[in-house]
Amino acid sequence: MRLKDKVAIVTGAGAGMGRAVATGYAKEGARLVLADIKRNLCRETASIIQDAGGVATFIMTDVTQFAGVQAMVDVAIQRFGRVDILYNNAGIQFMRADSRAHELSEDIWDRTVAVNLKGSWLCAKAVIPFMLQQGGGSIILVGSPTGYRACAPGYTAYSASKGGVIGLTRIMAIDYARDNIRVNSLCPGTTETPMISAVLEDEGVPQRLAEAIPMGRIGQPEDVVGLAVFLASDESSFCTGGFYVVDGGMTAM
């Protein structure tokens, strides 16, 4: 097992890619703290892992509030004594309310940046002191190709927030490299998750999205698991400051 005896925190673990990665980590032997703002969904993920013989606990967490984030990390320390992996998956995208800059409301901007960028920073801020004490760890921030390519016209807040995640990944990777804390970004392309389910219900949209991807299909949550495990494991011990794309070739064009 590639993550045997490691302790992982997965945010946004209630559904989609967060749930897929959490169950993937459990299969590889990790013990898990699952966090999500939706308590019932997070409990479901924990039950799935426990029913399969894994070890998981959960806590409702709003990643935009440091007190809640600190409580999440405290659960990991109290229950397992350490934190080896932070998989920061919690994110938000307002599919019908995000827009071009002059049309974008301040509320949508603030809420998007608070979850996607501030939340990434707060989660890292809370786990890093423990990783420093124990001699290292792996932080994986979920980014997006929209953070470095203009591939999502009209999604100003989301693209800007994910651009910030790219910058945060880079600076933390450099700041903590000598402390054996690796910081990388996993960047999924268009993936079928609850976050975009409403848009996928529109006639013709799934086909158009699939046609824009060289591999000819929309991604599934399970597509990111292999790379998420690699970045969490000791196999990636010389990898930091990287951006790992799982997008079916979309950004190769």
Can you tell me the distance from the alpha carbon of 64 to that of 208, in angstroms, rounded to the nearest whole number? 34
155 is catalytic: no
Is 210 within 8 Å of 247 (Cβ atoms)?
A: no
* Annotated catalytic residue within 155, 158, 176, 244: 158
Distance separating the N- and C-terminal Cα atoms of the chain: 36
Give 59's strand partners: 35
Q: Residue 137: what are its φ and ψ, rounded to 5°?
A: 170, 180
For the chain, the maximum distance between any two Cα atoms, rounded to a whole number of angstroms, is 53
Can you tell me the distance from the alpha carbon of 122 to that of 69, in angstroms, rounded to the nearest whole number? 7
Q: Residue 141: what are its φ and ψ, rounded to 5°?
A: -100, 130
Can you tell me the distance from the alpha carbon of 176 to that of 174, in angstroms, rounded to the nearest whole number? 6
Q: Which DSSP string do the residues of 7-44 spell out, in sequence order?
A: EEEEESTTSHHHHHHHHHHHHTT-EEEEEES-HHHHHH
Both structure tokens of 55:
């070890």
The residue length of the chain stands at 253
Q: Strand, helix or coil at 181? A: strand
Can you tell me the distance from the alpha carbon of 139 to that of 87, in angstroms, rounded to the nearest whole number? 6
Please list the active-site residues: 158
